[in-house]
Amino acid sequence: MTLTTEVLVKDIMTPGARCIGENDSLETAARLMADLDIGSLPICGENGKLKGMLTDRDIVVKAIAHGRSAADTRAGALAEGTPLLVDAEDGVSAVLELMQKHQVRRIPVLDDHVLVGMVAEADIARSLAPQHTGETVEQITR
């Protein structure tokens, strides 16, 4: 898939993404998700580096369902693998490729190593031609 180079991630992202600290509890994360009406948060380390993503589903399936306490379990305990991310100056094709390849619905956006936003399927749908949105959604949901 090729897009014009004028469309940058920063042009379609949702700015102002919030982070949950790796040492914050899942209870704190769930409360923040509820307050912000969102279903996922990037997990940031003490050094400010992105450690992973935490979803509401992760809290339920990987913690609560296994008897782990939301008050005592730290968000960092659910950070797995290398986090996916894109730079604000990347072309939109880079984020589409990552979403499709890894079958994820949202990706954190960094600018000079600082979290500045998120790109989600909804951002793609609002900003790009239906063809690109359809291809991306089809690849993600396989």
pLDDT at 2 over 50: no
- pTM comes to 0.81
- What are 107-120's pLDDT values in tens digits? 999 998 889 999 99
Of 24 and 130, the one with more pLDDT:
24
C-alpha distance across the termini of the chain, in Å: 18
CATH of region 9-140 = 3.10.580.10
CA distance to 35, 72, 105, 116, 138, per residue, from 32 (Å): 5, 16, 20, 17, 30
pLDDT of residue 80: 82
- What are 88-111's pLDDT values in tens digits? 999 998 999 999 899 888 999 999
**How would residue 142 be classed by pLDDT, with cut points 50, 70 and 90?**
low
